[in-house]
Amino acid sequence: MAEQGRRRIPPPNETESVNVRLLRSASGDPKGQPDTAEHLLTRVARGEDAAFAALYDRLAPLVLGVVRRVLRDPAQSEEVTQEVMVEVWRTATRFDPAKGTAAAWVLTMAHRRAVDRVRSAAAATERDFVVGLRDQQPAYDEVAEAVESRIEREQVRKALDALTDVQRQAVELAYYGGYSYPEVATLLGLPLGTVKTRVRDGLIRLRDAMGVSA
């Protein structure tokens, strides 16, 4: 799905980052390794335990990463990661490679579950406290743990630079903050329509900056 002309994907090598491998599987690299996430997921759908373990190793760090950004609490984040990965196992037959990459399928599930957890009553009180701290935070985690993500963090940071400040802010609050768009509107003192537009325009700019096409 990524247009190789618009986004330089380095040739495969041993230190190839997780994200580039995900892109490679998405871009349908003809030299692509047989163990693309899509291929693994197809085998998981047939009940193959080994393929599921390999898919876990590939994607659980990303699931945990995005869930942690939204939920903050490490213990809850691990719980949600477990729920997501087991759901991937349970519903693997529902993945349709024609509709998108395996990574997107899994991370969409992960983000939705994280947001659902955030909106549950238990998390509500802590969220109010954290709101004020979050406003000025950069969109990428400067304390990220793994070298593997350095390349894609750099690419994401550059892509986020393509957004206007207000678009970036709206995307951060809506996506990473796990807020509903009326909550975002309240936090930013904006009309609902403006929030919808800024989130959409911001994501479209990110899409174009990162060379995503379906």
Partner 1 sequence: MSTPDLSSSDQHALTGVYVADALSEPERRDFEAHLRRCADCAQEVAELQETVALLASAEYVTPPSELRARVLAEASRTRQLPPVVTRISRRQDQTRSKRSAWPVAIAAVLALIFGGLAGGLALQNRSLTSDLSDVQAASASVRSVLTAPDARTTSAAASGGGRGAVVSSASLGRSVFVGSDLPAVSSAKTYQIWFVTAAGATSAGVVGSDVAGDITRALPAAPAGTTAVAVSVEPAGGSRAPTTTPVLALPTA
- CA separation for the pair 133, 121 (Å, rounded): 20
Examine residue 153 and tell whether it contacts partner 1 (CB under 8 A): yes
Question: Which listed range, 27-35, 120-128, 129-137, 189-197, lies at the site for partner 1 (CB under 8 A)?
Answer: 189-197
- CA separation for the pair 157, 203 (Å, rounded): 13
CB 208 within 8 A of CB 2: no
Examine residue 174 and tell whether it contacts partner 1 (CB under 8 A): yes
Minimum CB distance to partner 1 smaller for 108 or for 132: 108
- CA separation for the pair 126, 123 (Å, rounded): 6
The b/e string for 91-116 (b: 16+ C-beta within 10 A; e otherwise) is ebeebeeeeebbbbbbbebbbebbbe
Question: Which listed range, 8-16, 28-36, 48-56, 127-135, lies at the site for partner 1 (CB under 8 A)?
Answer: 48-56
Token representation of residue 23: 């892109």
Beta bridge partners of 2: 212
- CA separation for the pair 130, 126 (Å, rounded): 6
- CA separation for the pair 196, 79 (Å, rounded): 31
Minimum CB distance to partner 1 smaller for 104 or for 132: 104
In the complex, least distance from residue 129 CB atom to partner 1, rounded to whole angstroms: 21
Examine residue 193 and tell whether it contacts partner 1 (CB under 8 A): yes
Q: Which of residues 111-130 bind partner 1 (CB under 8 A)?
A: 111-112, 115
> x/- site string to partner 1, residues 57 to 96, per CB under 8 A?
x--xxx-xxx-xx--------x--xx--xx--xxxxxx--
Among 27, 149, 168, 169, binds partner 1 (CB under 8 A): 149
Minimum CB distance to partner 1 smaller for 108 or for 164: 108
In the complex, least distance from residue 133 CB atom to partner 1, rounded to whole angstroms: 18
Q: Which residue has 């990162």 as its token pair?
A: 210
Among 16, 35, 48, 73, binds partner 1 (CB under 8 A): 48
